[in-house]
Amino acid sequence: MSELLKLNKSNCKNCYKCIRYCPVKSIRFSGNQARTIENECILCGNCYVVCPQNAKKISSELEKVKCFIQSDPNQKVIASLAPSFVAYFEGASIESMRAALKKLGFFDVEETAIGATIVKNEYIRILKEDKPDVLISSCCHSVNLLIQKYFPKVLPYLSSTISPMQAHCIDIKKRLPLTKTVFIGPCLAKKDEADCYRGVVDAVLTFEELSEWLKSSFINLNLDLDSNNLNNLNKINNSKSRLFPTTGGILKTMTEDFINNNLDYSYIAIDGTQNCIEALKDIENRKIHKCFIEMSSCVGSCVSGPVMKKINSSIIKKYQTIYNYAGNKDFEVSQPSFFELRKTFVPIAQKNQQPSETDILAVLKNMGKIKPEDELNYGSCGYDTCREKAIAVYHGKAEISMCLPFLKDKAENFSDNIVNNTPNGIIVVNERLEVQLINNAAKKMLNVRAASDVLGEPIVRIIDPTAFLSVLNNNKRIVAQRIYIAEYDRYFEQTIIPDKEYHVIICMLRDITDEENSKKKKEMISSQTIDVANKVVDKQMRIVQEIASLLGETAAETKIALTKLKETISNE
């Protein structure tokens, strides 16, 4: 199987929607990117349809078809147009489609419904002549892959008849040898079918590819049918097999005479992969007998194929369009022998083996699922149950981090550990200034016994709301504001930040009481030191003054004595 579904990595946003809608969980997540596991994929196209970011893209063979047309002017390239075209190209007929495609270079355009008539005839022959216990239609390649990959025991009940696409292209090449055939339809799986059985269908285009080609070539369809009156214009009566793309379309083409003459069989139409899976389980367990089952992987059958789901019209309108365009009788065909209509289906082995219960429990434990009640089975990861997710993890298809409850709990536990173990107090209030969160440090700082005592209560109960009101009204943060709360006889440094996105205000408190007390103590010691120094200076000054005074008196007396001595000596 070639890579038919390509991933646009830049568009994949890790939403897991594709895995939720994948009926066989054939998607592997690695590096937050969803990758298709080709060996497991049944090409139902659900991931392509549901991806909200258009990260999935169908591989195109448009250049290949253009090369067929342009490489040799004498090369005849004929398109086999799926009958659901009237629902996609609203208002178009086979005549208008033929005219438009001939402008693109096609030699001719025919309806795949011709091949559908051939296949339906072969189913009737098998039921009449071979009389199998259970016969499953083989028109839907996705159903065929589902059986080959997941229900190999049911392969004996799968009709070995080729599909309408193959039957029609074989018929074209029989009538016009050396012709290149191109199937155009609503299905992704047909590209793989053509690749698996080479030499029959040379290329496959989707309606979307054809629409883009017509647009880029500036070719407009002549919408010659009134969508409300399709049954009155350009309609051929021999076109009953145009009903094939609807649910039960094969059964609708079988004549009442045939069904009435073969009442020992039940005739059932099943659409939707999940419904097909349930039916295949019953067939595998031998619970169903004497039944012809028409299976289609798409809910609504081909009229709701992957490409059809991308257009904006209701399934009822699509059905009505096809019903109105279909005739009442079969196309006139030259029925090939059953040997020409046979193909072989072989089992396609799966690489993954079922892990043991011990292995599953080990993965569950790593996912945080210790007890059965921990297995919440939310399905947000894309898997229906936690056990299915554990098996996918074991096989390397999924990552433990894909579990959103697990990530939520992990994130909450991580943030709770930080919030409750930080030495800083944290208080979160809403825009009504009601406490929404208070951590352990804040409770201790503000003498709060339990968080439940203040949660939902006004912040004024535990702290002055003035700063909070300022932040709320001005939408400006307050950083490292020092406050004193007399009630607690404590000093705090508070930072208050508004969060407009979540409509909350966050307050962070740092207890600086010890710092303030230490600062005050230092200031007191400094003051006392200054006082002592001043007293010492004053005392010293007094001593100096006293010494100076004493020195002054002594000097005066000495001066008087010396003067008298001088005068005495002089008088002598």
Whether the pLDDT of residue 448 is over 70: the answer is: yes
Q: How far is CA 246 from the centre of its chain?
A: 30
Total residues found in the chain within this entry? 572
Superfamily of domain 424-511 in CATH is PAS domain (3.30.450.20)
Distances (CA, A) of 82 to 66, 125, 491: 20, 24, 82
Minimal CA–CA distance to 43: which of 30, 24, 29? Answer: 24
Confidence class for position 230, pLDDT limits 50, 70, 90? very low
Q: Using CA atoms, how far apart are residues 498 and 471, in angstroms rounded to an integer? A: 7
Strand partners, 34: 29
Interval 387-444: pLDDT, tens: 888 888 888 887 776 766 665 566 556 667 777 778 899 999 998 899 999 999 999 8
Pairing relationship of beta strands 425-430 and 478-485 according to DSSP bridges: unpaired
pLDDT at 312: 62
pLDDT at 117: 95
pLDDT at 518: 82
Q: Using CA atoms, how far apart are residues 140 and 126, in angstroms rounded to an integer? A: 18
Strand partners, 438: 427
Interval 84-136: pLDDT, tens: 999 999 889 999 999 999 999 999 999 999 999 999 999 999 999 999 999 99
Confidence class for position 148, pLDDT limits 50, 70, 90? very high
Dihedral over alpha carbons 339, 183, 24, 291 (to 10 degrees): -40
Pairing relationship of beta strands 203-206 and 180-185 according to DSSP bridges: parallel
pLDDT at 565: 60
Minimal CA–CA distance to 35: which of 44, 26, 24? Answer: 26
Interval 46-93: pLDDT, tens: 999 888 888 888 999 999 999 999 988 788 999 999 999 999 998 899
pLDDT at 225: 47
Surface-to-core class of residue 88, CB atoms within 10 Å of its CB (0-12 exposed, 13-18 middle, 19+ buried): buried
pLDDT at 234: 46
Minimal CA–CA distance to 305: which of 271, 267, 270? Answer: 271
Whether the pLDDT of residue 483 is over 80: the answer is: yes
Neighbouring residues of 572: CB distance < 8 A, sequence distance ≥ 6: none
Confidence class for position 315, pLDDT limits 50, 70, 90? confident
Supply φ then ψ for residue 323, to 5 degrees.
-60, -45
Minimal CA–CA distance to 119: which of 182, 163, 169, 184? Answer: 163
SS3 210: helix
pLDDT at 420: 75
Whether the pLDDT of residue 492 is over 80: the answer is: yes
Rg (the chain; Cα; Å): 44
| Ranges of each domain in the chain | 1-59, 60-325, 352-421, 424-511, 520-555
Element (H, E) at 28: strand 27-30
Supply φ then ψ for residue 264, to 5 degrees.
-75, -10
Q: Using CA atoms, how far apart are residues 122 and 128, in angstroms rounded to an integer? A: 10
pLDDT at 549: 73
pTM (whole model) above 0.85: no
pLDDT at 30: 74
pLDDT at 217: 94
Confidence class for position 19, pLDDT limits 50, 70, 90? confident
CATH topology of domain 352-421: 3-methyladenine DNA Glycosylase II; Chain A, domain 3 (1.10.15)
CATH topology of domain 1-59: Alpha-Beta Plaits (3.30.70)
pLDDT at 251: 93
Could you tell me what percent of the chain has a pLDDT over 70?
A: 89
Q: How far is CA 433 from the centre of its chain?
A: 38
Residue whose structure tokens are 């999924």: 398
